[in-house]
Copies of this chain bind each other. A is one copy, B any other.
Amino acid sequence: MKKKIGIIGATGYTGSELVRLLTGHPNVEISLITSESRAGELLSDVHPFLQGIADQKLVSLNQIDDYDLDLVFLALPHGVSMDFVKRYGDRSFKIIDLSGDFRLSSGGVYEEWYNMKHTFPEGIERAVFGCPELFSDEIKNATLVANPGCFPMSAILGIAPMVSGGFINTESVIVDSKTGVTGAGITAKAVNLYSNVNDNFKAYGLKRHRHTIEMQEILGRISGKETIIQFTPHLLPVDRGILSTIYARPTQKMNEESLIKSYKEFYSDAPFVRIRKLAPAIKDVRGSNFCDIFPAYDERTNTIIVISVIDNLLKGASGVAIQNMNIMFGFDETEGLRQVPLNP
């Protein structure tokens, strides 16, 4: 029997992307899609490209108890997700939260980086960080999964083999990331206006972007040491994709061949990580759940450079969320996620 899925909040990009992916998944059915602002309308009124594919009616969240659900995805803004978990967390369905509300180690850290009080720190205790390449055992048994942030996903997968192998200085890792504009969400504002993005490029969120602490905490957990990340996000004139250029200093004699070997071994069981022969481009993974990684070592400067690319809406959000669902339900990890990248 198919598992019954709820999608809480469907007017944004992660919501429509969940629908796009789940309509092709053989073991689940979407029972409920909620929206407060567009309740009563069809999903295809909000996202016209879904006409004929997902014409389901949107209902208000307060009808959720009318539905028998096995799992819900929270495609909600941070701050709103914690309210949902506080209120509905004891229901029988599992929860995968795509917001940042349950990713950090404590309410205090959350408050420091998100500039708002965490109203349900109990959820933090219960939540498992949903990076399947690192924590699949925990995810298998989780009832609340904190889906990773998009930048952290690209950075953590790019850095994990190095901190796990213990061969870099964890006190000064630089993550210079470049993201497509869907990372900023669907709400119209100056930052994602066409004329401000097209033929343009800029850095933003210097020094204090929230994803910094998420990277630091997860990588610190793997390395067992404090990990300090200098993270600089930039806005690309593209819809989808994150490319992170990572700079780290080895703490021991290094060569490129052994570096590449350590990456291949680390990800030997990971169906969605491809160690690439050449520097990858973001379009190489567009529309797919792949994370492509290219590790290099520059002898001249004694620096490791790692390039990591993902589609921020797939491996950086809805794709990895479904991968987590597959693990939680004991499905094949790649079920519903075998899309070939759309290139060009």
A residues bordering B, Cβ < 8 Å?
13, 16, 20, 23-24, 47-53, 172, 174, 176, 178, 181-182, 186, 188-190, 192-204, 206-207, 228-230, 232, 234, 236-241, 243, 245, 247, 274, 276-287, 296, 298, 300-301, 303, 305, 307, 338-344
Q: Establish whether residues B190 and A281, one from each chain, have CB atoms under 8 Å apart when the complex forms.
A: no
Question: For residue A238, which residues in chain B have a CB less than 8 angstroms away from its CB?
Answer: 198-201, 237
A166 to chain B, nearest CB (A): 21
Q: A174-B174, A195-B344, A232-B245 are in contact. List 20 more A-B contacts (CB 8 A).
A: A23-B340, A49-B283, A49-B343, A52-B274, A176-B176, A181-B194, A186-B195, A192-B194, A194-B197, A198-B238, A198-B239, A201-B236, A202-B243, A203-B243, A203-B279, A203-B307, A228-B300, A230-B298, A230-B301, A287-B287
Question: For residue A240, which residues in chain B have a CB less than 8 angstroms away from its CB?
Answer: 199, 344
Copies, count? 4
Of the candidates B230, B247, B279, the one whose C-beta lies within 8 Å of that of A202 is: B279
Q: Establish whether residues B186 and A188, one from each chain, have CB atoms under 8 Å apart when the complex forms.
A: no
A210 to chain B, nearest CB (A): 14
